[in-house]
Amino acid sequence: MISFNVPPVAGKELIYLEEAIRSKKICGDGAFTKRCSRWLEEQTGSERVLLTTSCTHATELAAILADIKPGDEVIMPSYTFVSTADAFVLRGAKAVFVDIRPDTMNIDETLIEDAVTERTKAIVPVHYAGVSCEMDTICDIAKRHNLYVIEDAAQGVMATYKGRPLGTIGDYGCYSFHETKNLSMGEGGALLIKDKANILRAEIVREKGTNRSQFFRGEIDKYTWMDAGSSYLPSELNAAYLWAQLEDAQKIYDDRMRSWNLYYEQLKPLADEGRIELPVIPEGCVHNAHMFYIKTKDLKERTDLIFYLKGKQINSVFHYIPLHSSPAGKKLGVFHGEDKYTTRESERLLRLPMYYGLGKENIECVTESIKNFYKGL
């Protein structure tokens, strides 16, 4: 069976896990957390990067820092993971869903401004498959309407928009290091902070609402409860695993790019014949090979292809069910405008196996199977 995903293992994970255990400090913000944060800050140019227990929690932290309150509205795509909306509806806000672009599956930047009302507080662009949203347009809208931009860059680590790392363009950026991501710590994430003025409060909220981080830096002689907060610190064991990945991040990136490019090369003839559609990478966007997907003619064809590939011992999967069509989405959100592409394109998209170490032989097995499926139609 060719799995859809295999969590990455760079090679030194067990060594660093043992090192963390022997250090007798396995709670948060130890040596490995600091190494990971420093690496991410250097790579992205962020003023501060805080590791979190998940990307969901990074987004929740961003929602708190943006002072999202009951009655606020937050604009986002419906084609996204539930965490994008959860972080804001937990604060009492309404999710306002906007249609996507069919080329990138990202939020359609030309439809955002019409969804802005006096209650709008933030825009949440989701960089699907590590391909950037049209951030210049989005940031211009946000600036004119005095809105926060909180990037859901869960899939965007090591991807860029016009030379700028995803997650660093808006006010806050949220990364995921889940086991399905390019770089992993099992469960984990990070919050990227653009403005120095927001760092102290972010540290306080992340540390149960206390100024404990300042205390450990020797900036104060004791710490106390300063604000409403929660515990968003990952264990040193998770950070140790992640550090092994970050050390080999370029090697992992290069391997995934080779796989992505081989998929594209092998399947382009089918796309040229009009049988399938391949991912689109707009000018100015550099992706990270997080995902390789194809689009079939319709839902039935996709379902048939999934079962055909399963019969060939290949695990391919669809992705999100649009949030606005879910029970919670109907209750906690609203779709603004026409659903022209969100549902239709979501029913056509099929994700192919993609992971570090996938290899040429497996990719050729997948692509040959897809070609044979279409020969039989």
- 299-348 residue pLDDT tens: 999 999 999 999 999 999 999 999 999 999 999 999 999 999 999 999 99
pLDDT at 212: 87
The total number of residues written for the chain in this structure: 377
| Helix (H) or strand (E) run with residue 295 in it | strand 293-295
Question: Residue for token digits 């092998």?
Answer: 266
Tokens of residue 58, six digits: 């990074």
pLDDT bucket at 377, cuts 50 / 70 / 90: confident
The first and second tokens of residue 159, run together, are 């991807």
> For 143-146, which contacts have Cβ atoms below 8 Å and span 24 or more sequence positions?
145/113, 145/116, 145/120
**Residue 375 vs residues 112, 266, 302: alpha-carbon distances, Å:** 41, 15, 15
Q: What digits encode the pLDDT tens for the residues 190-232?
A: 999 999 999 999 999 999 999 988 888 888 888 899 999 999 9
pLDDT in tens, 137-196: 999 999 999 999 999 999 999 999 999 999 999 999 999 999 999 999 999 999 999 999
Segment 343-367 mean pLDDT: 98
Whole-number percent of the chain with pLDDT over 90: 96
pLDDT band at residue 276, thresholds of 50, 70 and 90? very high
CATH topology of domain 13-247: Aspartate Aminotransferase; domain 2 (3.40.640)
Spatial neighbors of 360 by CB under 8 A, at least 6 apart, are: 262
Contact yes or no for 84/126 (Cβ under 8 A): yes
Contacts of 202 (CB under 8 A, 6+ apart): 48, 50, 61, 65, 191, 193
Residue 52's closest CA among 190, 237, 154, 259?
190
Q: What is the pLDDT of residue 283?
A: 97
249-375 topology per CATH:
Aspartate Aminotransferase, domain 1 (3.90.1150)
Mean pLDDT computed over every residue of the chain: 97
Cα gap 89→68, rounded to integer Å? 9
124 neighbors 88 (Cβ within 8 angstroms): yes
Q: What is the pLDDT of residues 64-80, one digit of tens each?
A: 999 999 999 999 999 99
CA-CA-CA-CA dihedral for 46, 41, 156, 136, to nearest 10? 20
Contact by Cβ (8 Å): 96, 112: no
In the chain, where the domains are located: 13-247, 249-375
Q: Which residue has the tokens 């100015």?
A: 284
